[in-house]
Structure 1
Amino acid sequence: MGHTQKYFFKVFFICLCLTGAAACEDKEEAGPAQVSYKGTNQAEQLLEDMEEVTSAVSVKEGKQIFAAVTVHQFDRLQLENIRKKGHSLLKEQWPEETVHFSTDYKSWLELNKYKEDRRNKSMSEKERKKRLTQIEEFMKG
Protein backbone atom coordinates (compact mmCIF):
# COMPACT_ATOMS: atom_id res chain seq x y z
CA MET A 1 0.00 0.00 0.00
CA GLY A 2 1.47 3.30 -1.05
CA HIS A 3 1.73 6.49 0.95
CA THR A 4 -1.06 8.12 -1.10
CA GLN A 5 -3.46 5.26 -0.44
CA LYS A 6 -2.80 5.34 3.32
CA TYR A 7 -3.43 9.08 3.34
CA PHE A 8 -6.65 8.61 1.36
CA PHE A 9 -7.95 5.97 3.80
CA LYS A 10 -7.15 8.18 6.81
CA VAL A 11 -9.01 11.13 5.27
CA PHE A 12 -11.91 8.89 4.27
CA PHE A 13 -12.14 7.43 7.79
CA ILE A 14 -12.12 10.89 9.41
CA CYS A 15 -14.84 12.12 7.05
CA LEU A 16 -16.89 9.02 7.78
CA CYS A 17 -16.60 9.60 11.54
CA LEU A 18 -17.54 13.27 11.23
CA THR A 19 -20.56 12.39 9.09
CA GLY A 20 -21.70 9.87 11.70
CA ALA A 21 -21.28 12.39 14.52
CA ALA A 22 -23.25 15.00 12.59
CA ALA A 23 -26.03 12.49 11.96
CA CYS A 24 -26.23 11.74 15.69
CA GLU A 25 -26.56 15.45 16.49
CA ASP A 26 -29.45 15.86 14.07
CA LYS A 27 -31.20 12.84 15.56
CA GLU A 28 -31.95 14.77 18.78
CA GLU A 29 -33.82 17.51 16.94
CA ALA A 30 -35.92 15.29 14.71
CA GLY A 31 -39.17 13.50 15.36
CA PRO A 32 -41.68 13.75 18.17
CA ALA A 33 -39.01 14.41 20.82
CA GLN A 34 -38.60 17.91 19.44
CA VAL A 35 -41.98 18.93 20.81
CA SER A 36 -41.20 17.77 24.35
CA TYR A 37 -37.81 19.49 24.40
CA LYS A 38 -38.95 22.80 22.92
CA GLY A 39 -39.66 24.47 26.26
CA THR A 40 -36.53 23.13 27.90
CA ASN A 41 -34.25 24.29 25.08
CA GLN A 42 -35.87 27.72 25.28
CA ALA A 43 -35.42 27.80 29.08
CA GLU A 44 -31.78 26.77 28.78
CA GLN A 45 -31.11 29.46 26.19
CA LEU A 46 -32.84 32.07 28.34
CA LEU A 47 -30.70 31.16 31.33
CA GLU A 48 -27.47 30.88 29.35
CA ASP A 49 -28.01 34.44 28.14
CA MET A 50 -27.42 35.60 31.72
CA GLU A 51 -23.81 36.80 31.88
CA GLU A 52 -23.14 35.00 35.19
CA VAL A 53 -24.16 31.59 33.82
CA THR A 54 -21.70 29.19 32.22
CA SER A 55 -24.13 26.32 31.59
CA ALA A 56 -27.83 25.58 32.04
CA VAL A 57 -29.97 22.46 32.00
CA SER A 58 -33.74 22.23 32.25
CA VAL A 59 -36.51 19.67 32.10
CA LYS A 60 -40.22 20.27 31.66
CA GLU A 61 -42.50 17.64 33.14
CA GLY A 62 -46.21 18.36 33.02
CA LYS A 63 -46.80 21.75 34.61
CA GLN A 64 -43.36 21.87 36.23
CA ILE A 65 -40.03 23.22 35.02
CA PHE A 66 -36.84 22.09 36.70
CA ALA A 67 -33.78 24.17 35.86
CA ALA A 68 -30.25 24.43 37.23
CA VAL A 69 -27.23 26.48 36.21
CA THR A 70 -23.52 26.61 36.81
CA VAL A 71 -21.99 30.04 37.24
CA HIS A 72 -18.58 31.64 36.77
CA GLN A 73 -16.35 31.18 39.82
CA PHE A 74 -16.25 34.91 40.60
CA ASP A 75 -20.05 35.16 40.48
CA ARG A 76 -20.46 32.47 43.15
CA LEU A 77 -20.41 35.31 45.68
CA GLN A 78 -23.81 36.43 44.39
CA LEU A 79 -25.66 33.11 44.18
CA GLU A 80 -28.78 34.41 45.93
CA ASN A 81 -29.19 37.25 43.41
CA ILE A 82 -28.57 34.84 40.52
CA ARG A 83 -31.21 32.45 41.91
CA LYS A 84 -33.77 35.25 42.14
CA LYS A 85 -32.95 36.54 38.66
CA GLY A 86 -33.07 33.08 37.05
CA HIS A 87 -36.30 32.12 38.79
CA SER A 88 -37.90 35.43 37.74
CA LEU A 89 -36.86 34.96 34.11
CA LEU A 90 -38.43 31.51 33.99
CA LYS A 91 -41.58 32.56 35.84
CA GLU A 92 -42.09 35.51 33.45
CA GLN A 93 -41.77 33.20 30.46
CA TRP A 94 -43.98 30.44 31.91
CA PRO A 95 -46.33 32.05 34.47
CA GLU A 96 -48.65 29.03 34.57
CA GLU A 97 -45.87 26.55 35.40
CA THR A 98 -44.32 25.67 38.74
CA VAL A 99 -40.65 26.64 38.50
CA HIS A 100 -37.88 24.85 40.41
CA PHE A 101 -34.54 26.63 39.96
CA SER A 102 -31.12 26.09 41.50
CA THR A 103 -27.53 27.28 41.26
CA ASP A 104 -26.31 24.20 43.14
CA TYR A 105 -23.87 22.06 41.16
CA LYS A 106 -25.33 18.80 42.53
CA SER A 107 -28.77 19.83 41.23
CA TRP A 108 -27.28 20.70 37.84
CA LEU A 109 -25.48 17.37 37.69
CA GLU A 110 -28.52 15.26 38.67
CA LEU A 111 -30.84 17.17 36.33
CA ASN A 112 -28.38 16.73 33.47
CA LYS A 113 -28.16 12.98 34.19
CA TYR A 114 -31.96 12.73 34.39
CA LYS A 115 -32.35 14.51 31.06
CA GLU A 116 -29.83 12.16 29.40
CA ASP A 117 -31.52 9.08 30.86
CA ARG A 118 -34.94 10.31 29.76
CA ARG A 119 -33.62 10.87 26.25
CA ASN A 120 -31.75 7.55 25.98
CA LYS A 121 -33.95 5.06 27.77
CA SER A 122 -37.56 4.71 28.67
CA MET A 123 -38.27 5.24 32.36
CA SER A 124 -41.42 4.21 34.11
CA GLU A 125 -43.69 6.94 35.43
CA LYS A 126 -42.85 5.85 38.97
CA GLU A 127 -39.09 6.10 38.36
CA ARG A 128 -39.42 9.53 36.72
CA LYS A 129 -41.44 10.89 39.65
CA LYS A 130 -39.01 9.44 42.17
CA ARG A 131 -35.98 10.98 40.46
CA LEU A 132 -37.67 14.36 40.03
CA THR A 133 -38.61 14.35 43.72
CA GLN A 134 -34.96 13.67 44.58
CA ILE A 135 -33.83 16.49 42.29
CA GLU A 136 -36.37 18.82 43.88
CA GLU A 137 -34.92 17.94 47.31
CA PHE A 138 -31.41 18.81 46.05
CA MET A 139 -32.76 22.14 44.87
CA LYS A 140 -34.28 22.94 48.28
CA GLY A 141 -31.24 21.98 50.33
Structure 2
Amino acid sequence: MRLWSLHPSLLDRQGLTAVWREALLAQKVLQGLTRGYRNHPQLERFKACTDPVQAIGTFLHGIADEADARNYHFDRSRVNSRPDGTIIAVTDGQLMHEWSHLLGKLAQRSPSRFAELQGSSPTAHAMMQVMPGPIASWERP
Protein backbone atom coordinates (compact mmCIF):
# COMPACT_ATOMS: atom_id res chain seq x y z
CA MET A 1 0.00 0.00 0.00
CA ARG A 2 1.37 3.42 -0.96
CA LEU A 3 -0.67 6.45 0.08
CA TRP A 4 1.43 9.18 -1.50
CA SER A 5 2.03 12.46 0.29
CA LEU A 6 2.91 13.82 -3.15
CA HIS A 7 0.34 15.74 -5.14
CA PRO A 8 -1.63 13.35 -7.38
CA SER A 9 -0.76 15.46 -10.44
CA LEU A 10 2.79 14.09 -10.21
CA LEU A 11 1.64 10.49 -10.65
CA ASP A 12 1.40 8.71 -13.98
CA ARG A 13 -1.79 6.91 -15.02
CA GLN A 14 -0.76 3.70 -13.27
CA GLY A 15 0.19 5.52 -10.08
CA LEU A 16 -3.03 7.51 -9.97
CA THR A 17 -5.25 4.47 -10.44
CA ALA A 18 -3.19 2.48 -7.92
CA VAL A 19 -3.40 5.14 -5.21
CA TRP A 20 -7.17 5.38 -5.79
CA ARG A 21 -7.59 1.62 -5.28
CA GLU A 22 -5.24 1.57 -2.29
CA ALA A 23 -6.92 4.55 -0.61
CA LEU A 24 -10.32 2.89 -1.09
CA LEU A 25 -8.89 -0.18 0.66
CA ALA A 26 -7.51 2.09 3.40
CA GLN A 27 -10.99 3.57 3.82
CA LYS A 28 -12.42 0.07 4.40
CA VAL A 29 -9.63 -0.71 6.85
CA LEU A 30 -10.28 2.51 8.80
CA GLN A 31 -14.00 1.67 8.89
CA GLY A 32 -13.19 -1.71 10.40
CA LEU A 33 -14.51 -3.60 7.37
CA THR A 34 -11.42 -5.75 6.73
CA ARG A 35 -9.30 -8.18 8.68
CA GLY A 36 -6.07 -7.46 6.83
CA TYR A 37 -3.97 -4.29 6.66
CA ARG A 38 -5.29 -3.02 10.02
CA ASN A 39 -1.77 -2.31 11.25
CA HIS A 40 -0.30 -1.08 7.98
CA PRO A 41 2.23 1.67 8.80
CA GLN A 42 0.93 4.04 6.09
CA LEU A 43 -2.37 4.25 7.97
CA GLU A 44 -0.75 5.71 11.10
CA ARG A 45 -1.06 9.33 10.00
CA PHE A 46 -4.75 8.88 9.18
CA LYS A 47 -5.41 7.05 12.46
CA ALA A 48 -3.84 10.00 14.30
CA CYS A 49 -6.57 12.31 12.95
CA THR A 50 -9.67 13.11 15.00
CA ASP A 51 -11.80 11.32 12.39
CA PRO A 52 -9.66 8.87 10.38
CA VAL A 53 -12.46 7.96 7.95
CA GLN A 54 -13.07 11.63 7.24
CA ALA A 55 -9.33 12.15 6.71
CA ILE A 56 -9.01 9.32 4.17
CA GLY A 57 -12.15 10.66 2.47
CA THR A 58 -10.49 14.05 2.07
CA PHE A 59 -7.42 12.28 0.68
CA LEU A 60 -9.57 10.32 -1.80
CA HIS A 61 -11.34 13.46 -3.01
CA GLY A 62 -7.94 15.00 -3.80
CA ILE A 63 -7.15 11.98 -5.96
CA ALA A 64 -10.57 12.15 -7.63
CA ASP A 65 -10.00 15.86 -8.37
CA GLU A 66 -6.85 14.94 -10.30
CA ALA A 67 -8.72 12.15 -12.09
CA ASP A 68 -11.39 14.68 -13.12
CA ALA A 69 -8.67 17.02 -14.44
CA ARG A 70 -7.45 14.16 -16.66
CA ASN A 71 -10.96 13.21 -17.78
CA TYR A 72 -10.77 9.89 -15.93
CA HIS A 73 -13.90 8.61 -14.26
CA PHE A 74 -13.30 7.67 -10.63
CA ASP A 75 -16.55 6.86 -8.81
CA ARG A 76 -16.77 9.40 -5.97
CA SER A 77 -19.83 7.60 -4.61
CA ARG A 78 -17.38 5.05 -3.18
CA VAL A 79 -15.95 7.73 -0.86
CA ASN A 80 -17.85 7.77 2.43
CA SER A 81 -17.33 11.42 3.30
CA ARG A 82 -16.98 14.85 1.77
CA PRO A 83 -13.71 16.78 1.89
CA ASP A 84 -13.65 18.82 5.09
CA GLY A 85 -10.34 20.66 5.09
CA THR A 86 -8.51 18.07 7.19
CA ILE A 87 -4.78 18.81 7.16
CA ILE A 88 -2.06 16.25 7.84
CA ALA A 89 1.53 17.29 8.48
CA VAL A 90 4.21 15.76 6.26
CA THR A 91 7.91 16.40 6.59
CA ASP A 92 10.06 17.63 3.75
CA GLY A 93 12.24 14.56 4.36
CA GLN A 94 9.25 12.28 3.78
CA LEU A 95 8.24 14.22 0.68
CA MET A 96 11.76 13.92 -0.77
CA HIS A 97 11.85 10.20 0.07
CA GLU A 98 8.58 9.66 -1.79
CA TRP A 99 9.76 11.87 -4.66
CA SER A 100 12.86 9.73 -5.11
CA HIS A 101 10.75 6.56 -4.88
CA LEU A 102 8.29 7.87 -7.48
CA LEU A 103 11.03 8.95 -9.90
CA GLY A 104 12.54 5.47 -9.67
CA LYS A 105 9.20 3.90 -10.55
CA LEU A 106 8.58 6.35 -13.40
CA ALA A 107 12.03 5.79 -14.89
CA GLN A 108 11.04 2.15 -15.39
CA ARG A 109 7.36 2.19 -16.29
CA SER A 110 6.72 5.71 -17.69
CA PRO A 111 9.91 7.14 -19.22
CA SER A 112 8.03 10.04 -20.83
CA ARG A 113 6.51 11.10 -17.49
CA PHE A 114 9.91 10.67 -15.85
CA ALA A 115 11.44 13.01 -18.44
CA GLU A 116 8.69 15.60 -17.83
CA LEU A 117 9.41 15.64 -14.10
CA GLN A 118 13.21 15.70 -14.29
CA GLY A 119 14.53 18.87 -12.70
CA SER A 120 11.24 19.75 -11.01
CA SER A 121 10.48 19.80 -7.32
CA PRO A 122 7.83 17.77 -5.54
CA THR A 123 4.59 19.28 -4.32
CA ALA A 124 2.40 17.78 -1.63
CA HIS A 125 -1.17 16.51 -1.78
CA ALA A 126 -3.51 19.44 -1.07
CA MET A 127 -4.34 18.08 2.40
CA MET A 128 -0.68 17.79 3.39
CA GLN A 129 1.13 20.64 5.14
CA VAL A 130 4.89 20.41 4.60
CA MET A 131 7.15 21.06 7.57
CA PRO A 132 10.87 20.47 8.14
CA GLY A 133 11.87 17.05 9.32
CA PRO A 134 13.17 13.57 8.51
CA ILE A 135 11.47 10.62 6.85
CA ALA A 136 8.33 9.66 8.78
CA SER A 137 8.66 7.05 11.51
CA TRP A 138 6.01 4.89 9.80
CA GLU A 139 7.95 4.76 6.50
CA ARG A 140 9.73 1.52 5.75
CA PRO A 141 12.73 2.61 3.62
Q: TM-score, normalised by structure 2?
A: 0.25
| Greater strand proportion | 1
Which is higher, the Rg of structure 1 or of structure 2? 1
| Greater helix proportion | 1
